[in-house]
Amino acid sequence: MDPQDFVRLSVGSLGLRIPVAASKAVQARVHSSSPCLCEIRLRGFPVQRASVPLISTPEGSLDSHSIATSIYLEKSDVKALLVPRCFLAPRAYLEISVFTERQGGSHYGVISRKQQIGKFKLQVIPEWGEGKSVLLHNGWIGIGKNQKEGGKPGPELHLRVKLDPDPRYVFQFEDETASSPQIVQLQGTIKQPIFSCKFSRDRRASQMDPTNIGQETESRDRKGWRVIVHDLCGSAVAAAFMVTPFVPSTGCDHVARSNPGAFLILRPDSCGPESWQPWGRLQAWRECGSRDSVCCRLNLLSEGQEAGLLLAEVLISADKGGEFFIDMDPAGTPVPSPQSSGDFTSVGPVVGGFVMNCKVEGEGEGKRSKPVVQLAVRHVTCVEDAAIFMALAAAVDLSMEACRPFRRKAKRGTSIFSRDCGR
């Protein structure tokens, strides 16, 4: 399997200090406020926020390995950032704005007021696209506007900005999960078959059409769904079994947080050809509100653990779909490989960080979900490792279907959402 090139831009080891010789106005503004925050911006990417600890003494220590946030870029992202813009900033920069945030009162309640302390800017250069580890900045730098303070020294920010190669395998389901599709690996315009998956369900549990599993109007539960992932030789290498039915809560018409449905993610057990070993549990439910979402929570399971280790809890738009992901930042906790059953591993220069993501469609009319999965190369030691994440992606996709409201019109692709019930 050939990976695609990605790079990880990490920002960490944050700290703020105010020199003793700084103006009293600057010292008062920082020391009298709540902890300082920063906003991390890069053109074309969502704004990230992180706290910035105040270093009050010269010998104050900083965690040189802490990660505040990471931004992942494909080659095309770097290429777009290097293209000059005529009417916007001609060059792209990584911008980190540090500010204090105070709570103030008003006639309408409590509001937050931001006051900028300073800004750090780092220009995007062609070196970002070379796929090499590069330390872009590490240390203290002044960020204040000293000319307004009578030339006195201003606030100083400590940060570590680093680029690391973070290659990924990219896979796509060629059809909806319930249609038992083939799974291909994407490498540019080339599609290479890697897996196939077989969807089935207990017909005694429901009489739903497996190619249209979300449109059932009669059944008040959804259970018995399963997906088995096979390699090109036809061997079963991973599976996802629905172990807790998706049922509407009392007085409600959707799967609620109080009673989530669940899939068990399984890998083959060496004890026998039909034997499975649990790897993870994916729970899902519907969060109703102004914008309905499906919440997916993944716990890693290992021998002797019933609750497991929480790896991810992600909200996905019920209507538009979105991305389920596992990312160990900012904690930097290593992730066990699928075959290790709880033995934690971390390979290569990047500790923690991105593990996988899975993009799925929502329930909007006419949408057909063909999940796309990105998987960090360092978490794949064999084809069977990748298969576990394909089973997880299938479970996420099926959970989006299983969490649809149970009251809906008979017409295909339309639904009536029940919003008058609690969770």
How does pLDDT run across 361-405, given as a tens digit for each residue?
998 767 789 999 999 998 888 888 999 999 999 999 999 999 999
Residue 92 belongs to some domain of the structure: yes
Task: Place 411 in a pLDDT band, splitting at 50, 70 and 90.
Answer: very low
Q: Does residue 423 fall inside a structural domain? A: no
Cα–Cα separations (whole angstroms), residue 167 to 21, 170, 377: 46, 10, 6
Number of structural domains the chain divides into:
2
In this structure, are 379 and 255 located in the same domain? yes
* Mean pLDDT on 279-304: 89
Same domain, 145 and 73: yes
Same domain, 199 and 66: no
pLDDT at position 137 is: 96
Range name among 78-92, 149-163, 332-346, 353-367 with the lowest pLDDT average: 332-346
Among 148, 165, 182, the domain boundary falls at 165
Q: Which of 117, 148, 165 is the last residue of a domain?
A: 165
Q: 30 or 188: which carries more pLDDT confidence?
A: 188
Q: Are residues 191 and 156 in the same domain?
A: no
pTM of this prediction?
Answer: 0.81
The answer to the question of residue 393 being in a domain is yes
The string of pLDDT tens digits covering residues 116-139 is 888 999 999 999 988 899 999 999
Of the pLDDT bands very low, low, confident and very high (cuts 50, 70, 90), residue 89 is: low
Mean pLDDT calculated for residue range 143-159: 71
The per-residue pLDDT for 283 is 97
Confidence of residue 353 (pLDDT cuts 50, 70, 90): confident
Q: What is the pLDDT of residue 172?
A: 97
Instruction: Check residue 345 and give its pLDDT.
Output: 38
Residues 95 and 45 grouped into a single domain: yes
d(CA 2, CA 212): 34
- Mean pLDDT over 271-282 rounds to 84
Residues of the chain with pLDDT > 90, as a percent, come to 50
Domain span at residue 84? Answer: 7-165
Q: What is the mean predicted confidence (pLDDT) over 278-306?
A: 87
pLDDT surpassing 70 at residue 230 = yes
Is the same domain home to 182 and 161? no
Residues 154 and 176 placed together within one structural domain of the fold:
no
